[in-house]
Structure 1
């Protein structure tokens, strides 16, 4: 039986690199690219089919920053597939990122240079805003939209009540520092030309500089071939690349505040009820 795999934000960067790696690992899987821009999704599908001629690749329109789009996509998924084996919540945004150039050059010549690039602490800012649903755009896209999608595809209505299916496993990954279109858009191209040799040199001293989308997808690919029941739900799985270019995955325990996690989950459930009610009322008005 073929595995069904859904990847959000699959048309470029780590998402597209992951799709390529998954098809190389298992050419028989059914791969669904869930993307906001369907033209780019079509291009990604064509690129994948060039190297994997017989691959089974579906497309799904999904804007995780829109409640209406997420709920519609969840219904479409239920209609198409009787199950989803792997759900990769990869899509994300960083709107209007700005770099503190003074802090950048100061950090380049300090002992903090590795940490600066690895975390962007004190280096990057972004301009968030409200979306059409009245939610902060970054929160809606990077967190809440994926929460709704996960809830939507993993739930069924029995006797009029919503119940979660059993047997779900969830893992968190960190791709490391990866250069993608999003990253390259932060600074003018000549800046990257100047500092890229420095970044490749720094990678000799730190394994978090994965740099390429292929390397950044290492932990995502690694999880695909693992026994889900053996994974640690409290661990974050890091994509790492050695100075010699060897890719590997390493778990690191997350500092989890259980009480805070429960509160967050409860708040998300409450918010889900609110947005679903608004969507229902909007549909009735139409």
Structure 2
């Protein structure tokens, strides 16, 4: 029986590299679905995959995880197409308006924390967030809440008696507990929404295991390491491309001292691909599975304990359920309002 695999954010970077690896290793048959926001880029990605794998089954799904209505439409589409999902990769993510602290960077460059700084961007990277049409913080909605809602909507195809299914999240080494607050889960008051959303991802994965394992659904978290993708290039948007190229020898040198510098999307997808080959029930729910690359360029996966607690994850899960209830009610009210032509005194 062919496995059905859906990957969000699959049209570039780590997501696309993962899809290429899944199809290259496809010995038992695989039905792959690329779930992305930009239709044209997704079609281009599909064409590229089919060029190297002409017999592959590659479907497309439009979904914008920052939009509640888009997620709900996409979930309905998935349930009409497939009677089950074997693996759901929750990979889509954004880091908008990154601001690089040059002063902190050079200070860290000549300190004992230089490797940690390069590996995690701790202390040198902030972002300016935005608000979505649904009134949610954009980074929180895109990186976490949209995916949470997608999982909730896809329960009928993810949870089946007698078999296991798998959720695999793309987190980050930038997931710092200090950036996350339970009383501000959307990170409205801070300047590290990306870090907050990734730490929230780690918490949510644990909560999902607590909630769904008895139904045969298991959740795991990965970290791709430091990868040269559009997300990384966006950190210094005015930085000329040739300077990034000139920095590569430095990055390769740093890789001798830290195995987290995976650099390429292929290397960064190592843990994502490795998890697909494992039995989900055998994995550690408290571990973040790291994509690592040795100084000689050899790829491997290693689990590292996450800085999370079950009680905090349960409280976070309750807050997400309440937020889900609120946004669904608001969406229903808007639909009713639209159906009835809007409230008195307003144009419909």
- Range class of TM-score, shorter chain: over 0.9
Q: Which residue of 1 aligns with 2:14?
A: 14
CA distance in 1, matches of 2:36, 2:124: 29
CA distance in structure 1 between the partners assigned to 2:246 and 2:101 by the alignment? 17
> C-alpha offsets along residues 110-147 of structure 1, whole Å, 9 cap, x if unaligned?
33221111110111111012111111111111110000
CA distance in 2, matches of 1:191, 1:245: 22
Displacement of 1:178: 0.8
Measure the CA separation in 1 of the matches of 2:151 and 2:13: 22
Helix, strand or coil: the match of 1:104? helix
2:315 corresponds to which residue? 263
Inter-partner Cα distance in structure 1 for 2:250 and 2:66 = 35
Tell me the equivalent position of 2:228: 179
Q: Tell me how far apart the structure 1 counterparts of residues 308 and 230 of structure 2 sit (CA, whole Å).
A: 32
Deviation string 1:149-169 (CA, Å, 9 cap, x unpaired) is: 01111148xxxxxx9791101
Aligned-partner Cα distance in 2 for 1:135–1:32 = 27
Q: What residue number does 1:148 align with?
A: 149
Alpha-carbon spacing, 1:66–1:52, altered in 2? closer, same or farther (3 Å): same
* Residues 21-30 or 131-140, more deviating: 21-30
- How far the C-alpha of 1:8 sits from its partner, in A, is 0.2
Q: Deviations over 1:178-221 (max 9, x none)?
A: 11012112221244234222111000111111111100100000
C-alpha separation in 2, matches of 1:115 and 1:238: 15
- In structure 2, the residue matched to 1:159 is none
- Pairwise mapping of residues 41-56 of structure 1 onto structure 2 (< 5 A)? 41-56=42-57
Partner of 1:133: 134
Task: Work out the CA distance in 1 between the residues paired with 2:288 and 2:111.
Answer: 29
Per the normalisation by structure 2, the TM-score is 0.78
The normalised TM-score by structure 1 is: 0.94
**How far apart are the structure 1 equivalents of 2:244 and 2:109?**
13
Measured on the aligned residues, the alpha-carbon RMSD in Å equals 1.6
Unaligned runs of 5+ in 2: 158-210, 339-348
What residue in structure 2 maps to residue 160 of structure 1? none
Runs of 4+ in 1 over 3 A off after TM superposition: none
Q: How many residues align?
A: 280
Aligned-partner Cα distance in 2 for 1:116–1:255: 18
Paired residue secondary structure (2:32): strand
